Structure 1
Amino acid sequence: MHIPGYLEDFHPLLETSPLIDATSWVEEELFWPAFLFHVGMARSAPAAFDADVADLDVYVENFERPDVWPVFAVPIGGGMMHLVVCNLPDDSGIHWVLDAKVRAALGRFADASGGHDPGRGLPWALLPREPAHLLTALPAMGTRQVPEGVPAEVAEALRAVGAMRRAEELADDLLRHRACVLLQ
């Protein structure tokens, strides 16, 4: 997989690309509890999906391999955001890589709203509403005040991807622990 301009900024340059398209992982049974726990920092994710913790620990290793960096593509504002689980041994983390169309949409939104900093997270209004896309992009939400109705909408998305219980608690957990991220 190739994301234009992404790996070219690493020093020293990587000999081979560790990026893999992991978008299809969303269909796997343990994906959502693992993703929401690992990327979304939601401790309540395993219980909401009734996931066996031992199985989940093994699955989470998919997100931590230094030779493979999972990439999830999400449509945002007419463009594409790539969530990259960067697994450099000394500098791991989540990178949010936006294409030019998403950057333009962020600029238009900032101009129209008169206050959103387009460099710090995505505004709720631009997040996709399709459940898998919404939940993948949710950790990048930079809206300071969670708008009314958002927790219920996130809980509904969680139920749509298989949260069997306590979806409202998990939604609150995800919204409380989202990072105010720097978008690339």
Structure 2
Amino acid sequence: MIIPGYLDGYEPPILRSPLVDGSDLMSYAMFWPAFLATVGGAASAPDAFGVDPADLEQIVDLFLDADRWPVFSLPLAEGCRLHVVMRNYEDDGGVDYVLDPGTGDVSIPLAAMEGHFRGPAFAWQEVVAAAQQPDPDHTSAERLLLLVPACADSSRPNTAIDLIAEALTTLGARSGVRQLSEELLTSLRYWGPCRWADVDDVLVGLGSATHRRHGGDLSPEQLRLIAAALQPGDTGIKR
């Protein structure tokens, strides 16, 4: 699997891409408690899905395979794709959210979840809008829960907890669902609450660590493309 420009800059250079399509892992019964506990930083995820944390070890090992980095991908508007990459590079592991413009141009970094974190990637309204975009392979609940770990928004409505709880229930969570929903929305592992503002008709993050800052490390053209890609699709929600 190739994400344009994503593997550039490594020393020594990575000559053979370790990126692999992770969609098969999403069919595993343990996928969601494992993903939400690791990427989402939610310690309550195993209990909510009624599983022993020890039972997650096998799939977590697959998440962390140094030779095969799973990538979970979502189609977005404007021909873009959002990739959630389990970056299993030795001594530099983490989880990256990157936008592939779909034009052959280099991918755009949105968030890096690691010790030297960058983010958040999304405002709440963007997560909701992107979750509802047309997708032949993923439900809106799956899209929502893949996106929410990289979201932080101090202005999110109280109904956000209900929407996350509904998605969790749809995907098999049975107890402590609201607790897990709150944990996913308020995890402070990487960044705290972030304010967003409309600047030149695009949403930009006002947090010091986000890539999506006005006058930051992304160009105005890239910021406009991100904003366009995260808009609602033109069909109904697939559940």
TM range (shorter): 0.7 to 0.9
- Equivalents in 1 of 2:120, 2:77: separation in Å? 16
- Equivalents in 2 of 1:52, 1:120: separation in Å? 30
Q: Choose from 142, 148, 156 the match for 2:152.
A: 142
Are the counterparts in 1 of residues 141 and 168 from structure 2 also a CA contact under 8 Å?
A: yes
- Equivalents in 1 of 2:62, 2:16: separation in Å? 19
Moved over 3 A (4+): 75-78, 178-184
- TM-aligned CA deviation for residue 76 of structure 1: 4.0
| Residue 61 in structure 1 maps to residue 71 in structure 2 | no
Q: Choose from 145, 166, 175 the match for 2:185.
A: 175
Deviations 1:83-141 (A, max 9, x none): 1010111110011111338xxxxxxxxxxxxxxxxx74211112214000110011111
Q: Which residue of 2 aligns with 1:121?
A: 121
Amino acid at match of 1:90: D
**Sequence identity, in percent?**
37
Q: Which residue of 1 aligns with 2:116?
A: none
RMSD over aligned CA atoms reads 2.0
Are the counterparts in 2 of residues 75 and 133 from structure 1 also a CA contact under 8 Å?
A: no
Are the counterparts in 2 of residues 77 and 126 from structure 1 also a CA contact under 8 Å?
A: no
2:88 aligns to what SS in structure 1? strand
Q: Which residue of 2 aligns with 1:109?
A: none
- Equivalents in 2 of 1:16, 1:68: separation in Å? 11
Are the counterparts in 1 of residues 76 and 82 from structure 2 also a CA contact under 8 Å?
A: yes
Pick which of 15-24 and 120-129 moved more. 120-129
Are the counterparts in 1 of residues 152 and 185 from structure 2 also a CA contact under 8 Å?
A: no
Q: Choose from 154, 160, 163 the match for 2:170.
A: 160
Are the counterparts in 2 of residues 120 and 182 from structure 1 also a CA contact under 8 Å?
A: yes
- Equivalents in 2 of 1:138, 1:60: separation in Å? 19
- Equivalents in 2 of 1:175, 1:147: separation in Å? 11
- TM-aligned CA deviation for residue 75 of structure 1: 3.3
Q: Which residue of 2 aligns with 1:19?
A: 19
1:55-94 alignment, distance < 5 Å: 55-78=55-78, 79-94=80-95
Are the counterparts in 1 of residues 3 and 100 from structure 2 also a CA contact under 8 Å?
A: no
What stretches of structure 2 of length at least 5 have no aligned partner?
A: 103-118, 133-139, 192-208, 212-217, 219-239
Amino acid at match of 1:83: V
- TM-aligned CA deviation for residue 51 of structure 1: 1.1
Deviations 1:12-71 (A, max 9, x none): 211211111102322210000000001000000000001122211222111111111110
Pick which of 82-91 and 68-77 moved more. 68-77
- Equivalents in 2 of 1:161, 1:99: separation in Å? 27
What stretches of structure 1 of length at least 5 have no aligned partner?
A: 102-118
Give the TM-score, by structure 1 length.
Answer: 0.82
Are the counterparts in 2 of residues 151 and 175 from structure 1 also a CA contact under 8 Å?
A: yes
